[in-house]
Amino acid sequence: MNLDVLYSKISPNQRKIVEALLAHPEGLLSDELAEITGVSNKSHTMCNDLREKLEEHGLKLYIKREGVRSRWYIREVPTEITLNRKKLSQIENSINQLSIACDKIKKMLNITE
């Protein structure tokens, strides 16, 4: 993940929030976050804008209610699944083996289609 690209697209205050949250994978309560960063995180516009920018870079901002408080945290989101030819071949082989096993079971149970 290239954070420099992300940081170039967000405000200095948003960067402070992202850096604090990445440093605390367990998340931070909104008042803790404000204390650490010196940034108010009450703005819905700022929150939504930050959420969009993070998602563009494979990160997701979660805000979870804990009573009257909110816990903020960031998680990396897998953006793509890469299958190399060997793995794809293994998957195809497994599917073929399942098909053969199903046919054998049908034959043993005298099931016709």
List the chain domain ranges.
Answer: 3-76, 81-113
Specify the CATH number for 3-76; select among 1.10.1040.10, 3.90.1150.10, 3.40.50.720, 1.10.10.10: 1.10.10.10
Q: 11, 34 in Cβ contact below 8 A?
A: no
**What is the mean pLDDT of each successive set of 10 residues along the chain, which is 113 residues long?**
87 93 93 90 79 89 90 81 71 90 88 69
What pLDDT was estimated at residue 80? 59
What pLDDT was estimated at residue 54? 92
What pLDDT was estimated at residue 76? 86
**3-class DSSP assignment, residue 104:** helix
